[in-house]
Amino acid sequence: MVILWGLLHSEVPLDLSTGLTVLAVFVFFFFYNQDPQETLKEKCREESACQKYIAELEKCTERVESRTHTEETCVQELYDMIHCVDHCVGGCAG
């Protein structure tokens, strides 16, 4: 993005082909660039190691949402799922 900013604000005149290239790069990064950590989190949520925690969280959520008065929360299930995903992402980064 710094390069894009520099090209757009440079005092050197840009020809049409250079301008189109800059535009193409901007469109690519704006629409197709995704945070690598988010991609890893999605992948880790799909792995079997984390599926049991996701299933427990979903069961707990359904149970809590089906009741009108309850003190139960799904915080522990949420923490367990997040811990699993974070552990998986950390293993992928190494």
Written as six digits, the tokens of 16 are 């049409």
User: What is the pTM assigned to this prediction?
Assistant: 0.60
Point out the residues of the chain with pLDDT beneath 50.
1-2, 4-5, 7, 94
How many CB atoms within 10 Å of residue 1? 10
pLDDT value at position 93? 53
CA angle 7, 31, 45 (to 5 degrees): 135
Q: Please name the fold of domain 36-93.
A: Helix Hairpins (1.10.287)
How far is 81 from 36, CA to CA, in rounded Å? 19
Q: How confident is the model over 64-82, as pLDDT tens digits? A: 999 999 999 999 999 999 9
Residues of the chain with CATH 1.10.287.20: 36-93
pLDDT value at position 40? 87
CB-facing half-sphere around the CA of 34: CA atoms within 13 A = 8
